[in-house]
C-alpha cells in the first residue's frame, strides 16, 4: 500500500471518500469503453466517456495516460486502496462552508497530518461557530459552544458580582465633579478633568 501511495499525487479537489468512489467508477467506465471497442473489432465506435475535472487533474498531476491500459489499472488499484484505508476526518460546521474553504482545510491536513487525508463535511448548527473534528477514535471540539463551556465559571462569577452589587457597573461609569467633590455625575457627561486657574486679583467672581 505504501509503495503505491508514494506513486500518486492527490489533488486537493479530491476531498472525500465520495470523490474517490466517483473516480473509481469513472476509470471503470473508461475501461469498459475500450473493452467494447475491442469486441466491436473495427465496427462502429462510440464516443469515449468525457473526463470529469477531477479525473483530468488526477491524470495531469500524475502524468497518467488514460488511453493506456496499464496506467488505468495502476490508478484504479491505488483508488481502491485509498477507498479502503485512507484516513478520514469528519468535520462539522454550523453552516455549509464554501468548497474553496474546505479545499484549504484538506491541503493543510495533507501537509501536516497525512498526505492522503480525506474529509467529510457535516452540519451542526448548535455549535455556534468554529468546528468539531472527529476521527475514528478521537474528537476535537473547536466550537464557540465549547469555548463558552470552558469559560462558564468566569461568566458565572461576573454575573454573580453584578447581581450581588448592582452599583458595581454604575461605579465604573461615574466620576467625581472637580467643582464639587460631593456631586457625582455620569461619565457620559464629561470624561475631561479641567484645570481651573485661581482668579486674578480684582477679577469679578
> What is the model's pLDDT at position 19?
95
Which residues are bridge partners to 96 per DSSP?
none
- 92-131 confidence digits (pLDDT tens): 888 888 999 899 999 999 999 999 999 999 888 877 777 7
- Per-residue pLDDT for 193 more than 90? no
Alpha helix stretches (DSSP H) within the chain: 2-5, 17-40, 53-61, 69-85, 99-112, 144-150, 152-164, 168-171
Residue 198 has phi, psi (to 5 degrees) of -70, 140
Listed residue (161, 132, 135, 134) closest to 146, CA to CA: 132
81-90, 121-130, 135-144, range with greatest mean pLDDT:
81-90
Amino acid at each position: 500500500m505504501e509503495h503505491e501511495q508514494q506513486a500518486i499525487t492527490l489533488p486537493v479537489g479530491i476531498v472525500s471518500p465520495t470523490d474517490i468512489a466517483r473516480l473509481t467508477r469513472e476509470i471503470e467506465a473508461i475501461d469498459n469503453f475500450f473493452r467494447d471497442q475491442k469486441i466491436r473489432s473495427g465496427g462502429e465506435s462510440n464516443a469515449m466517456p468525457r473526463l470529469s475535472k477531477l479525473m483530468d487533474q488526477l491524470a495531469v498531476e500524475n502524468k497518467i495516460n488514460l488511453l493506456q491500459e496499464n496506467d488505468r489499472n495502476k490508478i484504479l488499484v491505488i483508488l481502491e486502496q485509498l477507498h479502503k484505508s485512507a484516513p478520514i476526518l469528519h468535520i462539522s460546521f454550523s453552516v455549509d462552508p464554501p468548497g474553496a474553504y474546505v479545499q484549504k482545510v484538506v491541503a493543510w491536513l495533507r501537509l501536516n497530518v497525512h498526505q492522503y487525508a480525506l474529509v467529510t463535511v457535516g452540519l451542526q448548527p448548535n455549535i455556534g461557530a468554529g468546528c468539531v473534528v472527529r476521527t475514528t477514535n478521537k474528537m476535537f471540539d473547536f466550537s464557540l459552544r465549547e469555548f463558552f463551556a470552558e469559560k462558564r465559571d468566569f461568566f458565572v462569577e461576573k454575573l454573580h458580582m453584578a447581581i450581588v452589587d448592582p452599583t458595581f457597573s454604575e461605579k465604573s461609569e461615574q466620576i467625581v465633579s472637580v467643582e464639587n467633590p460631593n456631586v457625582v455625575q455620569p461619565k457620559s457627561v464629561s470624561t475631561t478633568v479641567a484645570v481651573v486657574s485661581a482668579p486674578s486679583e480684582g477679577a469679578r467672581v
